[in-house]
Amino acid sequence: MFVGHFAVAYILWRLFPQVPLPVILISVSFPDLLWSFLVPAGVERVRIDPDSPLQKFIVFEKFPYSHSLVLGTFLSIILGSFLGLAMNNILVIPVFALGSASHWLLDTIVHLRDLPVLGFDGDTKVGLGLWKRGVLAFLVEIVFYVCVSAIALSGFSLLYALLLGGVFHGINANSFLGKGKKNSVKSSNSYAGLALIGFGAFTALATFLI
């Protein structure tokens, strides 16, 4: 999931306007940002299918630090505490943890059963697997994004949010609909790099426009 995470950021910003939007955008991206560093570091593992770009064929072999509810949220509290102290804003800590946990919760809708709950070996793994139905997953994510954005934002902020979401979801379309015979992403490291660029670019543009 990509744009769907940012819709939750808008809602959190609406609820807690004392926390700057970029901090909230980073909080909902935190699991994937962390993951994009831990994959090339060899700490977490993902296997892509060279023959298909579809999300459902990506095997997330191991990502206990970035994508578990308990350990991941704990790590987000640590980073949130640094940010909260640096900004002299205690509210940053719970809002950052909420944003990060919301990422895990939304991921459980689309991921196959690969998301760890605790983050330790022998852990329970969850995932409802909406990615198995690519067209439906594509529609559900953009409808969710549009509806939640419309609740949270208004005026030009809403307009820019919808434009941003539409463009990025469109760029992502092949991973849902994947008519291509081959996967243009050649390695797990480039897949992690793309995630970093995607989340980074969206956060920068949303900060600038919204």
Closer Cβ to Zn ion, 84 or 115, answer by number: 115
Q: Does 114 bind Zn ion (CB under 5 A)?
A: no
Q: In sequence order, what are the beta bridge partners of 45?
A: 62
- Which one of residues 19, 30, 76, 107 is an interface residue with Zn ion (CB under 5 A)? 107
Q: Which of residues 75-104 bind Zn ion (CB under 5 A)?
A: none
Count CB neighbours of 78 within 10 A.
12
Closer Cβ to Zn ion, 66 or 183, answer by number: 66
**Closest residue to Zn ion, based on beta-carbon distance:** 32
Count of residues that interact with Zn ion, criterion CB under 5 A: 3
Which H or E element spans position 47?
strand 45-47
Q: Is 46 helix (H, G, I), strand (E, B) or coil?
A: strand
- Nearest-angstrom CA–CA distance, 184 and 84: 40
Closest to 178 measured CA to CA, from 150, 146, 138, 149: 138
Q: Give me the least distance between CB of 31 and Zn ion, in Å please.
A: 5
Closer Cβ to Zn ion, 107 or 141, answer by number: 107
Closer Cβ to Zn ion, 5 or 152, answer by number: 5
Closer Cβ to Zn ion, 34 or 152, answer by number: 34
Q: Give me the least distance between CB of 85 and Zn ion, in Å please.
A: 26
Q: Give me the least distance between CB of 152 and Zn ion, in Å please.
A: 21
Q: Give me the least distance between CB of 18 and Zn ion, in Å please.
A: 27
Q: With contact defined as beta carbons under 8 Å apart, do 181 and 51 qualify? A: yes
Q: Give me the least distance between CB of 44 and Zn ion, in Å please.
A: 11
Q: Which of residues 13-72 bind Zn ion (CB under 5 A)?
A: 31-32
Q: With contact defined as beta carbons under 8 Å apart, do 149 and 7 qualify? A: yes
Q: What is the DSSP string of 111-175?
A: S-TTEESS-STT--EE---GGGSHHHHHHHHHHHHHHHHHHH--HHHHHHHHHHHHHHHHHTTHH
| Binding site residues, Zn ion, CB under 5 A | 31-32, 107
